[in-house]
Amino acid sequence: MTLLLMWIKMLVKGLRELLPEAGFITEEDTASEIGKHYTWIVDPLDGTTNFIHAIPCFSISIALMCDTEIVLGVIYEINLNECFYAWQGSKAYLNGKEIKVSATSKLKDSLLITGFPNRDYSLLDEYLSLFRFFMEETHGLRRFGSAAVDLAYVACGRGEGFYEYGLSAWDVAAGALIVKQAGGKVSDFKGGSNYLFGGEIVAGGEKIFSPFQEAIANYLVVKG
């Protein structure tokens, strides 16, 4: 953990030199201050458990927020040397080449990506029921262990959709922008826009997004 804190401080120092007036939201609260207009949202190691166990899927995720809008996103998957990035108004890119979300039009032909809750088990029964539904109604599910990578993989069409709850802003900020700039859609479980700080996210290609999000809402949205 000491090395992780050192790495966060190095990233904060470098980013502060690029944009001195910006604030920071980072994992471990090493630097936590909202800027007047600009705020960096940083996860220096997304996929910590994978890293600890030498499983090769973990990443660095950096986003820049202007007021309340994400305007820049970068995800670097270290093991494969893959850098995904986009900015407001741009296309989305992987190592300099344009990427787009999958054109798959049916949920039954889709490969989905998810993450397992590791702290918040309040929706565990509903989550497992949804997991079974998707196992039976799609090409299958994958769990890679890094939400940032999951979103990047949706952006480049390796999976049609991603969903997870119990997440923080630094897990999803960069990836959400990259998915949108790659032609995809992003929402919270209800289909709204509270995915950055709301702890839940749905992301996918435009053609499968509606049935994908609606299925998630049927199982995971608490009816009140």
pTM: 0.94
10 shares a domain with 70: yes
Rounded distance between C-alpha atoms, residue 77 and residue 217, angstroms: 30
Closest CA to 142 of 155, 161, 117, 123: 161
Which one is predicted more confidently, 100 or 221? 100
39 shares a domain with 15: yes
Q: How confident is the model at residue 1 (pLDDT cuts 50, 70, 90)?
A: low
Rounded distance between C-alpha atoms, residue 106 and residue 173, angstroms: 27
Closest CA to 48 of 34, 29, 28, 72: 28
114 shares a domain with 49: no
β-strands 38-46, 23-26 pairing: parallel
pLDDT value for 2: 66
162 shares a domain with 68: no
Alpha-carbon distance values, 86 to 41, 96, 97, 98 (Å): 15, 10, 11, 10
184 shares a domain with 129: yes
Give the end of a domain, one of 51, 68, 99: 99
Rounded distance between C-alpha atoms, residue 166 and residue 97, angstroms: 32
74 shares a domain with 19: yes
Give the end of a domain, one of 81, 99, 117: 99
206 shares a domain with 118: yes
**Residues 98-154: tens digit of each pLDDT:** 999 999 999 999 999 999 988 888 889 999 999 999 999 999 999 999 999 999 999
155 shares a domain with 59: no
74 shares a domain with 92: yes
Neighbours of 51 (CB within 10 A): 19
Rounded distance between C-alpha atoms, residue 28 and residue 11, angstroms: 13
The CATH code of the domain that includes 113 is: 3.40.190.80
114 shares a domain with 215: yes
User: In this structure, what token pair is assigned to residue 80?
Assistant: 């494969």
Neighbours of 200 (CB within 10 A): 21
- Calculate the CA 43 to chain-centre distance: 11
**Residues 163-214: tens digit of each pLDDT:** 999 999 999 999 999 999 999 999 999 999 999 999 999 999 999 999 999 9
Closest CA to 92 of 75, 79, 113: 75
Tokens 């996210």 label which residue? Answer: 201
Mean pLDDT estimate for the chain: 92
86 shares a domain with 18: yes
Domain that holds residue 203: 107-220
